[in-house]
């Protein structure tokens, strides 16, 4: 290696002038590119004998198969007083054995094949995923199906999972960022299941039977969609899937409990958590929109301009111009089934806390006062349209994208028309959306930091409610 | 010996040769006459491409009066060039020079500490703010980002470690020339404008990533205490007073000394034609004059001669880190450590997970990894969080007992085979994303001297014997070679 470097340096002195005077180079500001027409890849939709929709996308590049099952469930269905049930159920579905295979044997078998089967439950979707080498797929699929449909919920693993949840609660106030993230969610969704978080009491109240019941209620072959991608033979795959999922089950229609949308209440609140740290964590926001809002495209453009990029207004002023933060951003998290949020966040040294909060609110308010500039609009639209293809870079992401659209009931043609819908957004649309959906005067504001070192007191913004960060240490 | 032979045979039958050969076939290598290394892989899964540039310069290459500089420079190289990021460099330049003079005067005055002239500092601060405001009239903020972004670039970022500095971007495949134009300009003509406001950003980054997070703070102290002589002990971001004393002059010297084609490893992976890509890269980078390489770090960490215990008292539940000094990547014993890492810490069948989390239930999680760098001798690290009411002592004892077991009890054949199977899967999977493959290619080329490290890796691990594992465990897992770090809860029962 060393010898090679020396010889290359010698070569250089002989040839440098030749290269330096070489071919033309383009100016990044004005350069043009060959056209790239991009068709969104489609998976094939097949319905299994049991009625389950499956999105298949075959790609033999790697000798690997991946599957994701998307299941109609969610932590939003945690019963009152049992927050954390969905998460624990997902944990023990995988860790507690399934189909008569003990936890230890399942772990051993899967890891010896280097296969993985994992489960999780989010707010409004449960997932069980599989990844394996093609040669180990048939056996991995059997275990995957057992975890999905026939988990055993070993009592011992139920106990361990519950203890882990409790230990996590003991540690939930160690990192100021974690405190702020949790508290802003609780404040925005106060009074709604989306605002509920596990507590020591709820964790202790959860029993094995609760998990068995939760699983039985939601994990049914008529309540899920599969995304399958990778190296497989189509006929063999459909045969395998039909073999593990069987015929249509004779159970009644799935009864997803009705959960109302969060009440559209916009009332400001100021929360402070005391931590002796040299940097303050700041979160602010309120309710946002669902995917069914016609304004979703205007808000995507607004996001980019306000706080969704390195050249956004928030980053430009607070980070680049004033050096007050490393990270500052904002975003409409568009809800799929339930109303989402608008949230802005940053962290700044204790001594600039109030200054930064004031600046952020001003910048956000600015969006509601004047139209964005032509240049801002153009840059945002170009980014969203030109980077669209990065949503589809692997067979697995394409198949699961299609499955997700059906799962959440997106309209047909959503992806195909997405770029055109973005292209149609005008400055007037962005201003109207900002005025309709941004209400800085009604922000929930969460501030975690050392109040004694703040530049001014938080009461400048209104009445401050102090968070109790002591852990009852049960 | 017979058992090990069987393992080797299995390797050949089931795959390594197949997939490793695939990687070997797919990578196209090209070296420019100025020393730049170009590695390419064609993948036509989507019309996208990832381009990574790894400089063989990291925080380990800083002098003692410029710590934090590699990372600071990483930020500054986003600020543009003589033609990008500015509307009129000729007009801007004199102001940048005045800013630098003023900032240096201020740093010098502040260095006098309590003897410093407060009024003078305030005056200089005012001057600096005025000059920065004047200069900013010529700045086109974050123009690199803007150009990439409107062309559909995603993931434009950079990171600095002890071992190196990497710039990355993914683009629609038809836009690769934009990358070549911007990056070749940056390599030759970077202008470190807006230095002092960016330094404030880096100070906020330090507060965010380390100061305000107890576990990160413990980690920083732990690593610093493990290396008394070797620069691996220094945090890459720098200690706060070191960041406060960085200047544009220092950053420019560092940049011009090391960040040329001679230290650059470029990986371009995606929907490309390798021949056309070589032409493109030659056209934009071929004429760049090479500079020097940082000298290898000569400091050697003296052999540790007794356990070091590090305590952090914090508003946080207890946590534990245990470390042992070990050799650099690709050293013969390093492969043995990789096997040990997987036996102890990889997955739900790993020994520490089974013992601490499932069987004894004294911890909620346990991790095993090596840090803080790879090019030089580093640490084998185990971390775990005790589960109340179990104590740090119980967790520490249980971990040490598992390390003792490695010294005396031969590892089962099935455990070794499981590791090889896992690597077979990882060898396949790493080919599945442009960015992941570009990362691996640049990383191993830089730290081991060749990306082919990946090709030979599984065979190296297959050659590790149970006797090797026992010998390494006995040699390295000693009290003398051990670091222990822990958090004690402030106001907790122990204090």
Lowest mean pLDDT among A12-26, A347-361, B99-113, B480-494: A12-26
Give me the pLDDT at residue A472, please. Answer: 59
Q: Do B203 and A311 touch (CB under 8 A)?
A: no
Judged by CB atoms closer than 8 Å, whether chains meet at A349 and B207 is answered as yes
pTM, entire model: 0.93
| pLDDT 10s digits, B248-272 | 999 999 999 999 999 999 999 999 9
pLDDT at A250 over 70: no
Instruction: State residue A249's pLDDT score.
Output: 73
Mean pLDDT across chain A, nearest whole number?
A: 93
Q: Which of A78-92, A164-178, A353-367, B481-495 has the lowest mean pLDDT?
A: B481-495
User: In chain A, which residues fall in CATH 3.30.830.10?
Assistant: 44-245, 269-407+415-466
Could you tell me the pLDDT band of residue A162, with boundaries at 50, 70 and 90? very high
Q: What is the pLDDT of residue A133?
A: 98
Q: Which residues of A touch B152 (CB under 8 A)?
A: 382-383, 385-390
CA distance A317 to B372: 34
Q: Which of A169, A310, A469 to probe by mutation at the B interface, max B CB count within 10 Å?
A: A310
Strands A126-133 and B378-386: unpaired
Using the predicted structure, report yes or no on whether residue B360 has a pLDDT greater than 70.
Answer: yes
* B211–chain A Cβ distance below 8 A for any pair: yes
Sign of CA dihedral B206, B208, B214, B219: negative
pLDDT score of A4: 34
* Nearest chain A Cα distance for residue B151, angstroms: 6
Q: How far apart are the first and last CA of chain A?
A: 61
Quick one: pLDDT band at residue A457, thresholds 50, 70, 90?
A: very high
User: What's residue B495's pLDDT?
Assistant: 40
Q: What residues 218-257 of chain B have any CB closer than 8 A to a CB of chain A?
A: none
Q: A12-21, B192-201, B300-309, B361-370: which has the minimum mean pLDDT?
A: A12-21
Comparison of pLDDT for A37 and A13, the residue scoring more: A37
- Contacts (Cβ under 8 Å, ≥6 apart) of B249: B100, B104
Per the listing, tokens 């560092």 go with: B254
**Confidence at residue B492, expressed as pLDDT on a 0 to 100 scale:** 72
Range with the lowest mean pLDDT among A6-10, A466-470, B196-200? A6-10
Distance (Å) from the alpha carbon of B317 to chain A's nearest alpha carbon: 6
Q: Do A383 and B152 touch (CB under 8 A)?
A: yes
Nearest to B45 among A38, A59, A176 (CB): A59
Q: Measured between alpha carbons, how far is B200 from B243 in angstroms, rounded to an integer? A: 9
In this complex, do B429 and A62 lie within 8 Å of one another by their Cβ atoms?
yes
Q: Chain A partners of B413 at a C-beta cutoff of 8 Å?
A: none
Q: Provide the pLDDT for residue A257.
A: 84
Chain B residues near residue A113 by CB distance under 8 angstroms: 421
Chain B CB contacts of A35 below 8 Å: 174
* Residue B2 pLDDT exceeds 50: no
| Residue B22, pLDDT score | 79
Percentage, residues of chain B above pLDDT 90: 94
Please indicate whether, in this complex, the C-beta atoms of B213 and A175 are within 8 angstroms of each other: yes
pLDDT exceeds 70 at position A232: yes
Select from B207, B346, B351 the residue whose CB has the most chain A CBs within 10 Å, as the one to mutate to test that interface: B207
Per-residue pLDDT tens digits for A388-401: 999 999 999 999 99
Q: Which of A11-20, A385-394, A457-466 has the lowest mean pLDDT?
A: A11-20
Residue A440 to chain B, least CA–CA distance (Å): 25
- CB atoms B197 and A321 under 8 Å: yes
CB contact (8 A) between residue A31 and residue B178? yes
Q: What is the pLDDT of residues B114-172, one digit of tens each?
A: 999 999 999 999 999 999 999 999 999 999 999 999 999 999 999 999 999 999 999 99
Mean pLDDT of A237-255: 86
- Is B87 in the A-facing interface, judged by CB distances under 8 Å? no
Q: Which residues of B touch A12 (CB under 8 A)?
A: 33-35, 290
Taking an 8 Å cut-off on Cβ atoms, the answer to whether A321 and B136 are in contact is yes
> Given an 8 Å threshold on Cβ–Cβ distance, is B317 in contact with A170?
yes
Confidence of residue A474 (pLDDT cuts 50, 70, 90): low
* Residue B107 phi, psi (nearest 5): -60, -40
pLDDT of residue B5: 32
Q: Could you tell me if the ipTM is greater than 0.85? A: yes
Q: Of B149, B212, B387, which has the smallest distance from its Cβ to A379's Cβ?
A: B149
Average pLDDT over residues B347-363: 98
pLDDT of residue B272: 97
* B7 pLDDT tier (thresholds 50, 70, 90): very low
How many CB pairs below 8 A link A and B?
Answer: 246
B16 pLDDT more than 90: no
Among B173, B178, B197, the residue with its CB nearest the CB of A36 is: B173
B16-25, B215-224, B384-393, B466-475: least confidently modelled range: B16-25
Residue in B closest to A346 by C-alpha: B208
Whether B282 contacts chain A with CB within 8 A: yes
User: Is residue B10's pLDDT more than 80?
Assistant: no
**Helix-helix angle B392-408:B466-476, to 10 degrees:** 130
Q: Inspect the interface and report whether the beta carbons of A279 and B348 lie closer than 8 Å.
A: no
pLDDT of B405 above 80: yes
Residue with tokens 């989402």: A340
From the candidate CATH numbers 3.30.565.10, 2.60.200.30, 3.30.830.10, 3.90.226.10, the one assigned to the domain spanning A44-245: 3.30.830.10
* pLDDT tens sequence across B201-229: 999 999 999 998 999 999 999 999 999 99
Output the pLDDT for position A11: 33
Our measurement of the distance from residue A71's CA atom to the centroid of its chain's CA atoms, rounded to an integer in Å, reads 16
Q: Do A9 and B141 touch (CB under 8 A)?
A: no
Chain B residue with minimum CA distance to A175: B213
B347 to chain A, any CB pair closer than 8 A? The answer is yes
**Contact assignment for A386 to B150 by CB distance below 8 Å:** yes
When comparing pLDDT for A21 and B187, which is higher?
B187
Q: Is B207 on the interface with A (CB under 8 A)?
A: yes
**Residue B9 pLDDT level (bands cut at 50, 70, 90):** very low
CATH class of the structural domain A269-407+415-466: alpha beta
Question: How large is the average pLDDT for residues A233-262?
Answer: 89
pLDDT at position A36 is 87
Q: Choose, out of A7, A21, A65, A114, the residue to mutate when testing the contact with B (most B CBs < 10 Å).
A: A114
The answer on pLDDT for A2 being more than 50 is no
Residue A104 CA to residue B316 CA, distance in Å, equals 33
| DSSP collapsed to 3 states, chain A | CHHHHHHHHHHHHHHHHHHHCCCCCCCCCCCCCCCCCCCCCCCEEEECCCCCEEEEEECCCCCEEEEEEEECCCHHHCCCCCCCHHHHHHHHHHHCCECCECHHHHHHHHHHCCCEEEEEECCCCEEEEEEEEHHHHHHHHHHHHHHHHCECCCHHHHHHHHHHHHHHHHCCCCCHHHHHHHHHHHHHCCCCHHHCCCCHHHHHHCCHHHHHHHHHHHCCHHHEEEEEEECCCHHHHHHHHHHHHCCCCCCCCCCCCCCCCCCCCCCCEEEEEECCCCEEEEEEEEECCECCCCCHHHHHHHHHHHCCCCCCHHHHHHHHHCCCCCCEEEEEECECCCCCEEEEEEEEEHHHHHHHHHHHHHHHHHHHHCCCCHHHHHHHHHHHHHCHHHHHCCHHHHHHHHHHHHHHCCCCCHHHHHHHHHHCCCHHHHHHHHHHHCCHHHCEEEEEECHHHCCCCHHHHCCEEECCCCCCCC
- Mean pLDDT over all residues of chain B? 94
Share of residues in chain A with pLDDT > 90 (%): 89
Asked if A326 lies within 8 A of B204 by C-beta distance, the reply is yes
């Amino acid at each position: 290696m060393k010898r090679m470097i020396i010889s290359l340096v010698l070569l250089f002195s002989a040839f440098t002038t030749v290269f330096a005077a070489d071919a033309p180079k383009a100016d990044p500001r004005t350069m043009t590119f060959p056209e790239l027409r991009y068709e969104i890849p489609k998976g094939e939709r097949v319905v299994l004998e049991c009625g389950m929709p499956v999105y298949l996308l075959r790609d033999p590049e790697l000798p690997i198969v991946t599957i994701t099952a998307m299941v109609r469930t969610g932590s939003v269905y945690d019963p009152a007083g049992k927050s954390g049930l969905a998460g624990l159920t997902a944990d023990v579905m995988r860790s507690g054995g399934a189909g008569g295979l003990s936890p230890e044997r399942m772990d051993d078998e899967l890891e010896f094949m280097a296969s993985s089967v994992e489960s999780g439950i989010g707010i409004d979707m449960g997932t069980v995923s599989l990844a394996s080498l093609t040669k180990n797929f048939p056996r991995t699929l059997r275990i995957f199906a057992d975890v999905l449909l026939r988990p055993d919920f070993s009592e011992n693993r139920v106990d361990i999972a519950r203890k882990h949840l409790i230990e996590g609660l003991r540690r939930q106030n160690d990192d100021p960022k974690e405190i702020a993230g949790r508290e802003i969610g609780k404040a925005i969704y106060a009074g709604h299941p989306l605002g509920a978080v596990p507590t020591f009491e709820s964790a202790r109240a959860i029993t094995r039977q609760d998990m068995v019941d939760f699983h039985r209620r939601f994990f049914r072959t008529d309540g899920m969609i599969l995304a399958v991608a990778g190296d497989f033979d189509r006929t063999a795959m459909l045969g395998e899937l039909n073999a593990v999922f069987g015929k249509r089950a004779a159970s009644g229609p799935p009864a997803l409990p009705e959960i109302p949308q969060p009440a559209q209440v916009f009332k400001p609140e100021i929360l402070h958590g005391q931590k002796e740290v040299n940097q303050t964590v700041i979160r602010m926001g309120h309710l946002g929109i669902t995917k069914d809002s016609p304004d979703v495209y205007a808000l995507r453009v607004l996001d980019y301009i306000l706080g969704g990029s390195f050249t956004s207004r928030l980053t430009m002023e607070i980070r680049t111009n004033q050096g007050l933060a490393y990270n500052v951003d904002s975003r409409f998290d568009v809800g799929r089934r339930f109303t989402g949020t608008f949230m802005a966040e940053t962290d700044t040294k204790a001594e600039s806390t109030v200054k930064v909060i004031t600046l952020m609110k001003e910048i956000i308010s600015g969006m509601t006062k004047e139209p964005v500039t032509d240049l801002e609009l153009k840059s945002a639209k170009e980014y969203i349209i030109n980077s669209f293809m990065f949503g589809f870079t692997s067979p697995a992401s394409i198949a699961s994208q299609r499955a997700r659209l059906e799962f959440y009931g997106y309209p047909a043609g959503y992806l195909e028309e997405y770029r055109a819908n973005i292209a149609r957004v005008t400055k007037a649309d962005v201003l109207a959306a900002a005025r309709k959906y941004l209400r800085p005067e009604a922000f929930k504001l969460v501030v975690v930091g050392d109040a004694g070192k703040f530049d001014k007191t938080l009461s400048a913004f209104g009445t401050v409610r102090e968070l109790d960060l002591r852990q009852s240490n049960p | 010996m017979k058992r090990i032979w069987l393992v080797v045979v299995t390797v050949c039958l089931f795959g390594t040769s197949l997939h490793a050969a695939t990687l070997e076939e797919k990578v196209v290598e090209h070296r420019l006459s100025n020393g730049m290394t170009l590695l390419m892989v064609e993948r036509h899964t989507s019309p996208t491409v990832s381009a990574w540039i790894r400089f063989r310069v990291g925080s380990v290459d800083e002098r003692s009066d410029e710590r934090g500089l590699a990372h600071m420079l990483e930020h500054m190289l986003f600020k543009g060039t003589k033609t990008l990021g500015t509307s009129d460099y000729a007009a801007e330049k004199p102001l940048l020079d005045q800013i630098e003079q003023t900032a240096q005067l201020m740093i010098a005055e502040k260095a006098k500490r309590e003897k410093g002239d407060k009024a003078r500092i305030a005056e200089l601060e005012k001057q600096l703010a005025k000059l920065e405001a004047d200069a900013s009239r010529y700045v086109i903020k974050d123009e690199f980002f803007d150009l990439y972004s409107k062309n559909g670039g995603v993931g434009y970022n950079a990171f600095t470690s002890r071992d190196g500095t990497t710039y990355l971007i993914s683009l629609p495949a038809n836009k690769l020339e934009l990358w070549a134009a911007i990056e070749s300009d940056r390599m030759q003509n970077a202008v470190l404008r807006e230095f002092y406001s960016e330094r404030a950003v880096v100070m906020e980054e330090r507060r965010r990533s380390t100061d305000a997070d107890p576990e990160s703070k413990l980690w920083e102290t732990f690593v610093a205490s493990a290396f008394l002589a070797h620069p691996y002990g220094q945090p890459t971001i720098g200690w706060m007073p070191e960041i406060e004393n960085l200047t544009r002059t220092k950053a420019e010297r560092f940049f011009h000394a090391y960040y040329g084609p001679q230290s650059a490893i470029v990986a371009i992976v995606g929907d490309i034609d390798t021949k056309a890509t070589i032409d493109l890269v030659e056209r934009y980078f071929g004429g760049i004059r090479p500079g020097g390489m940082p000298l290898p770090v000569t400091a050697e960490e003296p052999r540790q001669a007794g356990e070091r215990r590090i305590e952090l008292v914090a508003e946080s539940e207890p946590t534990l880190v245990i470390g042992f000094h070990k050799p650099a990547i690709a050293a013969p014993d390093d492969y043995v450590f990789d096997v040990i890492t997987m036996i102890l810490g990889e997955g739900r069948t790993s020994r520490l997970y089974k013992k601490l989390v499932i069987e004894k239930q004294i911890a909620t999680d346990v991790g095993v990894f090596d840090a803080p760098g790879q090019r030089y001798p580093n640490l084998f690290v185990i971390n775990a969080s005790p589960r109340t009411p179990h104590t740090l002592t119980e967790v520490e004892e249980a971990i040490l007992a598992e390390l003792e077991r490695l010294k005396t009890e031969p590892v089962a054949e099935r455990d070794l085979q499981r590791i090889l199977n896992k690597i077979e899967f990882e060898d396949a999977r790493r080919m599945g994303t442009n960015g992941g493959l570009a990362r691996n290619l640049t990383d191993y080329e830089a730290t081991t001297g060749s990306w082919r490290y990946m090709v030979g890796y599984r065979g190296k691990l297959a050659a590790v014997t149970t006797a090797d594992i026992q010998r390494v465990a006995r040699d390295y897992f000693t009290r003398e070679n051990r670091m222990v770090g822990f958090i004690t809860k402030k106001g907790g029962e122990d204090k």
